[in-house]
Structure 1
């Protein structure tokens, strides 16, 4: 995996405001890659960024991620939906235009891809 690509993903995730979430696809669209690549970057390098703010397009997490995210969500005011799999992404999605602006500023000092 390209280090520059990973840095782009991590910087995008860092721009998600507390109490908000986006989908893997939202981050992928910002960076210009596929959603699975976003997941791979977060799996390998995401421990120091707010990974709990990146969910599936349905607002869900797989595996034990929800268990690990719950305390962080509670602190940020994100409620778990009735099915217990994640949050209602429509209720908590970050403003994507604002995220795009913040992301472009955050990567402005990186070399071109």
Structure 2
């Protein structure tokens, strides 16, 4: 995965926040995406994705966003959602197996495209 470079990776404005939240909304139930995968779609870094979710993510399925290894920093809070969606905790107990529950990045881009296009036209 090629990571974007330049000022857009760290810029947090209203449009960037909304773009991140809309990509998170596009992650299907029962699947997860890594901070960096979301960042690659929106052209920001994974830490900014995490900061946006920590600050404004309560209204979106935040439990579907993990680190690149599938670990979740708030696993205890995410667990009821994961159980309801069929996401299983990996044997190490810190998150899920990305190979099994990670969403396909190309498909996530396609699913997010209509919501992101609405923002471009605003």
Band the TM-score falls in, shorter-chain normalisation: over 0.9
Quote the Cα distance in structure 1 between the aligned partners of 2:120 and 2:23: 16
Any idea what SS the aligned residue of 2:120 has? coil
CA drift at 1:30: 0.3
Considering only aligned residues, what root-mean-square deviation do their CA atoms show, in Å?
1.0
Cα deviation, 1:6-47, whole Å, max 9, x if unaligned, reads: 000000000000000010010000000100000000000000
Decide which of 92, 97, 104 is 1:88's aligned counterpart. 97
Q: Which residue of 2 aligns with 1:26?
A: 37
Quote the Cα distance in structure 1 between the aligned partners of 2:32 and 2:54: 17
The answer for unaligned runs of 5 or more in structure 2 is 1-11
Quote the Cα distance in structure 2 between the aligned partners of 1:59 and 1:95: 14
Query: Does 1:53 find its partner at 2:56?
Result: no
Any idea what SS the aligned residue of 1:29 has? helix
After TM superposition, the runs of 4+ consecutive aligned structure 1 residues lying more than 4 A away are none
Ranked by relative contact order (alpha carbons within 8 Å, sequence separation 6 or more), the top structure is: 1
CA drift at 1:82: 0.8
The answer for unaligned runs of 5 or more in structure 1 is none
What is the TM-score with the length of structure 2 in the denominator?
A: 0.87
What is the TM-score with the length of structure 1 in the denominator?
A: 0.94
Quote the Cα distance in structure 2 between the aligned partners of 1:75 and 1:61: 16
Q: Which residue of 1 aligns with 2:110?
A: 101
Any idea what SS the aligned residue of 1:75 has? helix
Quote the Cα distance in structure 2 between the aligned partners of 1:73 and 1:61: 11
Q: Which residue of 2 aligns with 1:42?
A: 53
